[in-house]
Amino acid sequence: MRRHRRVFAFSLVVAAVLLLCGPVSAQSDLEPITLEVVLAGGRDPNINVIQDYGDISWTKILAEEFQKQYPHINVEFRTGSMDQIIVMIASGMGPDIINGYGHKFHSVGRQGGFLDLNPFFEAEGVDFMAEQTYWPRQWEAFQYEGRQYAMPQYLGTVALGYNVDMFDEAGLPYPEPRLSSNTMDWEEFEALAKRLTRDVNGDGMPDIWGFSKSMTRTDRIHYWLAAAGSDFFGNEAKTVSTLNNPAAIAGLEYLQRLRWESQVIAPPGVPSGFLEGQAAIAEIGSWGLVNYLGLKSDGSPKVTFEWNLFPMPVGPAGVRATLATNDGYAINRNTKHPEEAYLLLRFLTGREANEIKAKYLGLQPAHRDAVPEYIGLMQEVNRDVYDLDLFVYAEAGAYAHPEVIYADPILGESILKELYIKVLDENQPVAPTLEDAIARLNRGLAAVDRGPVVRSVQWLGAEWTAREFDTVMPGEVRVEGDKLVLVAAGTDIESYKDSFGYVYQKVSGDFTATVRLHSAPPTHNWSKSGLMIRADETELAANVAVLGTHNRGLVVQQRLAAGSATEQPARISSWQNGDPVYMRIIRRGNEVTAQISEDGKAWQTLARIILELPETVLIGLASTSHAAGTLGEAVFSDWELVAE
């Protein structure tokens, strides 16, 4: 269906001037501005994935094409990280447009870091769902509480690639590529994979596996559960998970059976690469097609065998399901040029830009009008090899499901990944493991809207403040004799902001603080517990800490300014969790000295750090489980605070 080009009709004066003043030559009289686009999705703005078209940068092409329409708007692309962007947005700064994906990108959108696009759509008079411009499920993945906080960059879907030579050797017919003629269901797929699994050398272990797929990535499991008929959310706010249901159990048990009973999927750690000829069938994402299509620099095909594609099988619910990627473009709420940023956003997500990204990056378009061009471009890349049924990807948009992202994305990712490891890698029983995981997830989600948990604790004759920074699992503090047990979750004490539990006192001037750490949580190799001086009660605060980890030794960490990156100036890899160690922080003005001791008498200086600190700071005990949905215990004793 053709889309109608609409004349923009913004109510704001600047936008009206931009769009209604006449030809491009008239727009050249407008004041020049520069819009910055940060690519936080890992793509180099100067490197084309598909090299057939020369060395010209794909972002340069996008900028030039946009400037043909709006000569007064200069566009600059650069790479960055979501951690950096989070800090900049919180500080009232940042680029005009952010390109990102995954949990951090969507968390910023849901928390109001990106502009709501609906007022722009209404002013322009567009309805992308009515016009069938994008696939509904992917479009809705960028919505929260009535706000449209981003638009899709591309539509990455997953199809099944198969080794034609292996099918020939097994005497099997090729799967039908079109949805209209392919009726393969899960049982038929399992039987097919069994026939393709072979023990070539007779050692009792297959050398060729019937099927290869990622079994623990959360964005590679949900669509199998959707095909089984599972739902995922109990409300629009996504603060309730309904994943503990019979359909999800059936879907997980099916995947578990493929690996452990039918043995068509390799056990964890056993090679089963499709390109290496170790698997007959494999999931292949459309974004990775360029690794399979065309020729190497020496003129030989990238794939040494003939292969082709077919769609995902029909699940027990009578439907197919596959992945829809959640990469998007959003407008920073702090932009000084919202109308112009919207013009650029519409261009970057429009048909022309989708075709450019398909040509130079091999990305499957989200804009449905650009899909035929994409199929033709991919066939052209493979012109010197053979034809492939690439329209399998074009038809996949109708049954593509975005990754499941709950109201607390990091918590959801952590608990679901742990669930899939237990069930699919370790072969633990599905029903009770799923029930426990979703119960923990819902407890955490119930706390999404609560404020920081702050409470008072009495220990060793002093009053302490216990506070949780950016955690979703409520912890606790216990006093057991002369020991203090800090129970906390949290994702990490690291990067640009912290997520941890903290028990502290406020102290002014110079001082020496000492504590003995008995153990850090055994929840993750990089769980951390220890002594911390902190500038204030924000997640971004400058700090210095001496921290014992579960399995990575003992480290000194520093964040020299609010929102800056965390560094590790010192590390002792030989320290073992469970070996008690004394920790000491000495403050002298803006100099902080970090020390450790085995006996509390002979001290080893690990670092002397200069940073700007207020007169009154926080000093106390910090701990993170490094697992958002899991609580862990840290044990301390022998606290001493001496004011100088």
In this structure, what CATH number is given to the domain that contains residue 479?
2.60.120.200
Half-sphere exposure of residue 3: CA atoms within 13 angstroms, side-chain side: 18
Q: How would you classify the pairing of strands 554-559 and 616-624?
A: unpaired
Boundary residue ending a domain (336, 366, 396): 366
Both 57 and 73 in one domain: the answer is: yes
97 lies in some domain:
yes
For residues 446 and 239, the answer to whether their CB atoms sit within 8 Å is yes
> What does residue 67 show for φ and ψ, rounded to 5 degrees?
-70, -20
- Give the integer Cα–Cα distance in Å for 595 and 21: 67
Nearest C-alpha neighbor of 447 from the set 475, 418, 416, 413: 475
Cβ-based neighbour number of residue 306 at 10 Å: 16
For residues 262 and 193, the answer to whether their CB atoms sit within 8 Å is yes
For residues 496 and 565, the answer to whether their CB atoms sit within 8 Å is yes
Q: What ranges make up the beta strands (E) of 452-579?
A: 454-459, 462-469, 476-480, 483-488, 492-494, 497-508, 511-519, 528-534, 543-549, 554-559, 567-572
Boundary residue ending a domain (445, 470, 489): 445
- Give the integer Cα–Cα distance in Å for 69 and 61: 13
Both 43 and 98 in one domain: the answer is: yes
Distance of CA 20 to the CA centre of its chain: 40
467 lies in some domain:
yes
Both 542 and 627 in one domain: the answer is: yes
Both 177 and 216 in one domain: the answer is: yes
399 lies in some domain:
no
Distance of CA 199 to the CA centre of its chain: 37
Both 117 and 33 in one domain: the answer is: yes
Q: What ranges make up the beta strands (E) of 589-631?
A: 591-597, 604-610, 616-624
Helix (H) or strand (E) holding 328: strand 328-331
Q: Where are the alpha helices (DSSP H) in 24-71?
A: 24-27, 58-69
**80: CATH:** 3.40.190.10
Helix (H) or strand (E) holding 348: helix 338-348
Question: Tell me, what DSSP letter sits at residue 38?
Answer: E
- Give the integer Cα–Cα distance in Å for 415 and 625: 13
379 lies in some domain:
no
Boundary residue ending a domain (445, 472, 489): 445
Residue with tokens 């473009």: 329
- Give the integer Cα–Cα distance in Å for 240 and 441: 8
Which pLDDT score is estimated for 27? 58
Which pLDDT score is estimated for 218? 94
293 lies in some domain:
yes
Could you say which residues of the chain have pLDDT below 50?
1-23
For residues 322 and 413, the answer to whether their CB atoms sit within 8 Å is no
Structure tokens at 273: 């690469």
Both 479 and 621 in one domain: the answer is: yes
Both 71 and 182 in one domain: the answer is: no
Which pLDDT score is estimated for 352? 96
* Secondary structure class of 438 (helix, strand, coil): helix
Question: Tell me, what DSSP letter sits at residue 423?
Answer: I
Both 342 and 291 in one domain: the answer is: no
CA dist 505 → 465, 492, 589 (Å): 6, 21, 18
Structure tokens at 302: 């990238």
Both 241 and 192 in one domain: the answer is: yes
- Give the integer Cα–Cα distance in Å for 435 and 443: 12
The model's pLDDT over 287-341, given as tens digits with 9 standing for 90+, comes to 998 889 888 888 888 999 999 999 999 999 999 999 999 999 999 999 999 999 9
563 lies in some domain:
yes
For residues 349 and 217, the answer to whether their CB atoms sit within 8 Å is no
* DSSP annotation string for 551-585: SS-EEEEEE-STTPPPEEEEEETT--TTS-EEEEE
Structure tokens at 425: 């890698």
> What does residue 520 show for φ and ψ, rounded to 5 degrees?
-100, 165
Which pLDDT score is estimated for 512? 98
Both 441 and 458 in one domain: the answer is: no
For residues 264 and 281, the answer to whether their CB atoms sit within 8 Å is no
How many structural domains are present in the chain? Answer: 3
345 lies in some domain:
yes
- Give the integer Cα–Cα distance in Å for 358 and 390: 13
Both 304 and 191 in one domain: the answer is: yes
Structure tokens at 223: 């669509």
For residues 311 and 396, the answer to whether their CB atoms sit within 8 Å is yes
Both 424 and 535 in one domain: the answer is: no
Structure tokens at 576: 């073992």
Q: How would you classify the pairing of strands 33-39 and 97-100?
A: parallel
Whole domain around residue 240: which residue ranges?
A: 158-318+410-445
- Give the integer Cα–Cα distance in Å for 168 and 208: 14
69 lies in some domain:
yes
| This model's pTM is above 0.85 | no
Structure tokens at 628: 């958002």
- Give the integer Cα–Cα distance in Å for 159 and 162: 10
Nearest C-alpha neighbor of 520 from the set 635, 630, 409: 635
- Give the integer Cα–Cα distance in Å for 592 and 571: 16
- Give the integer Cα–Cα distance in Å for 636 and 480: 10
Cβ-based neighbour number of residue 7 at 10 Å: 8
- Give the integer Cα–Cα distance in Å for 124 and 12: 11
- Give the integer Cα–Cα distance in Å for 614 and 381: 60
